[in-house]
Structure 1
Amino acid sequence: MLDGAVRLPRQLTGEVAVVTDVNEAAQPAKGGRDLLRIFRELKQAVVNDWGGVKPMAVEDDKEFLERKEKVAEFEQQLSNLSQQAESLVKAQQDMGETLGELGLAFVKLTKLETEGAMFEPQTIRANDMKNVATASVKASRLYRELNAQTVKHLDKLHEYLGVMLAVNSAFSDRSSALLTVQTLSSELVSLQSRIEKLEAAASKVFGGDRSRMRKIEELKETLKISEDAKSCAIREYERIKENNRTELERLDRERHEDFMGMVRGFVLNQAGYAEKMANTWEKLAEETSGYANDAS
């Protein structure tokens, strides 16, 4: 960056050729050392957004644009699902903790009733309280196990949020590569125009204008390098496009498999633990059925 800052004033005054290396020129300016190229790509980006003039190179892959829009929708859905998953996990955790505290309270109450028991009904009641405590503690443990499995299954949502960061980074690289092609295309037009103007001016001077002719030769050399750089930039852009296509197809395929597996595991997990909890409370209902008979 410091090197670019040193070169910038000389580039602006024309003492140093703007394009000196094909490989350097073909790469996006973002992260580079050539400040003038950074400014030119920034200018090109502003022209694209506000200039009202269609750039020479545009993103014309309709399939990609549709997929990009769907990826944005999928990312929003992921964010919403992630929030709902966190709410579910928090609710199950709270339920497990509440049942654990309830079981502990009945354990203490059972101990109190047992120590002060003087009559048989007190002993019976203490035994029933012990059953309630046992069921509550067991249900609490089941909720903790359920929650651990829920986190394991739904963590796939957070994994894909990370994948979305990589996808957006790939899209950004594609936009930067296209911006480089657009900038180089504009520079070529500008260089060609400058050469034509200088040639027209030099032709009016008898015997030629040596300074202008020297400048024309320098610009033609820069033009040649810029043309080569544009070709390299186009190849890089096409490489990124092909990579995007391949990766998006792989994402669609793996996403379907991953989410089917996640949903299947989540549903089976919820159903399995719901059955275990139902058996726990059903057993407690049988053990305390006498109270229902007394009430009737």
Structure 2
Amino acid sequence: MQRDEFVAQRRAALERYLWRLAEHPAIGPSDELRVFLQAEGKMPLPSSTDVASRMLDGAARLPWQLLGEEAVAAPQEVVQPAKGGRDLLRIFKELKQSVVSDWGGVKPPLVEEDKEFLDKKQKLQDWEQQLTTASQQAESLVKAQQDMGETMGALGLAFIKLTKFETEEAMYDSQRIRAADSKHIATAAVKASRACRDLNTQTVKYLDTLHEHLGIMLSVHTAFSDRASALLTVQTLMSDLSSLQLRIEKLEAAASKIFGGDRSRLRKVEELRETIRATEDAKCCALSEYERIKENNRSELSRLDRERKEDMLEMIKGYVTSQAAYAEKIVDGWEAVAEETSGYAARRSDDYNMAW
């Protein structure tokens, strides 16, 4: 593409992206979008962009029995981003829970039972595969149309040189006639080349919708990953509650065998019960966050379905219309050449009759 065409296409893509943001029910009215649109100059980058920091910031804090430290995090902090390397212990806890659920043959205390969501998730995975194939074929089509335009342009240039040669070397009327016809072919080929280039621009404009929706799938994967992480957090807390309750039962059984009770064990039981209360609060917060994510997934998937139908319909209509319009323009050009060179057919017919 020419540089101006590239810039124009990127500008159009950016405008479509900003319209998507503005139409989003949560992003549209947000302060972040307003600041981005109104701020002059470059926006400052986050202070930390390394992979390790981003990974740690994605982990949430759990009560001390998950962290192995004495400090107790507030229950609502279970669903908040982590701040330091100590939260690696939470990652290990949840990794252990994930392994137990996947390979231990033990059913987790809470599982994903939203059949509608699971069906949509599978359909979206299939849709992504189809999008990938269609996107690759669209790139091949654009390359083929570009090659056709370049080849047609080269053909036009060759006939222009041929016309010049025939004109300069013409000694007979037949040479001059051939030169005129060569010029008609050259003109039609150049026009067809320009039409192919313009058609390619329109093809990229409409079929770029495939690339856009393929990019949206990255956000879909992130949303599904957040949901799975939230569920894993709940599973880890519920599993830990079961472990704490089991420890209390063992301590109470051991204390009951001692006459008058074992004060150290009973004191430990009270500490564990306090831990259970904190963990229960954390579990409630984690469940609320999980339900919030589920509801957000439901509304976003519905919105994605509507946008996909509208975008695909607009893409198909625009693509088909542009293909038909430019094909008609190219055909008209060659039909004009056929009309201009029709004298050859008449002369050939006369020569054939004379031979008989």
- Tell me the TM-score normalized by structure 1: 0.91
In structure 2, the residue matched to 1:7 is none
Determine whether 1:55 maps to 2:98: no
Looking at structure 2, the residues matched to 93 and 136 of structure 1 have their Cα atoms a distance apart, in angstroms, of: 14
Task: After superposition, give the CA deviation of every residue in 1:191-211 in whole Å (9 maximum; x if it has no partner).
Answer: 111112122223333444343
Tell me how far apart the structure 2 counterparts of residues 259 and 48 of structure 1 sit (CA, whole Å).
Answer: 40
Determine the structure 2 residue equivalent to 1:138.
191
1:261 aligns with 2:314: yes
How many residue pairs get aligned? The number is 288
How big is the alpha-carbon RMSD for the aligned residues of Structure 1 and Structure 2? Answer: 2.3
Query: Which residue in 2 is equivalent to 1:160?
Result: 213
1:124 and 2:177 equivalent? yes
1:99 corresponds to 2:174: no
Q: Distance in 2 between matches of 1:35 and 1:204?
A: 40
Q: Distance in 2 between matches of 1:260 and 1:183?
A: 45
Which region of structure 1 is more displaced relative to structure 2, 74-83 or 44-53?
A: 44-53
Distance, in Å, in 1 between the alignment partners of 2:175 and 2:85 is 83
Distance 2:84 2:149 in 1: 51
Partner in structure 2 of residue 283 of structure 1: 336
Match of 2:239 in 1: 186
CA 1:20/1:214 → structure 2, altered by over 3 Å: closer, same or farther? farther
1:24-103 equivalence runs, <5 A: 24-26=77-79, 33-103=86-156
Equivalent of residue 226 in structure 2, options 173, 176, 182: 173
Give 5+ residue unaligned stretches, structure 1. 5-10
Per-residue Cα deviation, 1:230-279 (whole angstroms, up to 9, x for no partner)? 11111000000000000010011111111001000000000011111110
Residues 74/29 of structure 1: CA separation in 2 closer, same or farther (3 Å cut): farther
**Other-structure match for 2:48:** none
Tell me if the contact between 1:29 and 1:41 (Cα under 8 Å) persists in the aligned partners: no
Change (3 A) 1:138 1:269: same
- TM-fit CA distance, 1:30: 12
Query: How far off is 1:142 after superposition?
Result: 0.3
Q: Secondary structure of 1:34's partner?
A: helix
1:270 aligns with 2:334: no
Q: Which amino acid aligns with 2:91?
A: I
Specify whether residues 19 and 65 from structure 1 end up closer, same or farther in structure 2 by C-alpha distance, changes over 3 A only: farther
Residue 269 of structure 2 corresponds to residue 249 of structure 1: no
Instruction: Measure the CA separation in 2 of the matches of 1:200 and 1:91.
Output: 79
Q: Distance in 2 between matches of 1:254 and 1:135?
A: 41
Which deviations, in whole Å up to 9, do the C-alpha atoms of 1:136-187 show, x marking residues without a partner? Answer: 0000000000000000000000000111110111011001101111111100
- 1:293 alignment counterpart: 346
Q: 5 Å matches for 1:204-215?
A: 204-215=257-268
The one-letter amino acid paired with 2:163 is T
Distance 1:33 1:159 in 2: 39
- Cα gap change, 1:272 to 1:180, in 2 (>3 Å): same
CA distance in 1: counterparts of 2:138 and 2:192, whole angstroms: 21
Give the secondary structure class of the aligned counterpart of 1:205.
coil
**Higher RCO (CA < 8 A, seq sep 6+):** 1
8 Å contact from structure 1 (residues 29, 38) kept in 2: no
Q: Are residue 114 (structure 1) and residue 164 (structure 2) matched?
A: no
Alpha-carbon distance in structure 2 between the residues aligned to 1:198 and 1:172 = 39
Whole-Å Cα distance in 1 between the matches of residues 86 and 204 of structure 2?
A: 46
Structure 2 unaligned blocks of 5 or more:
1-51, 57-63, 350-356
Distance, in Å, in 1 between the alignment partners of 2:112 and 2:86 is: 27
Deviations 1:44-78 (A, max 9, x none): 11111111121110000011111111111111110
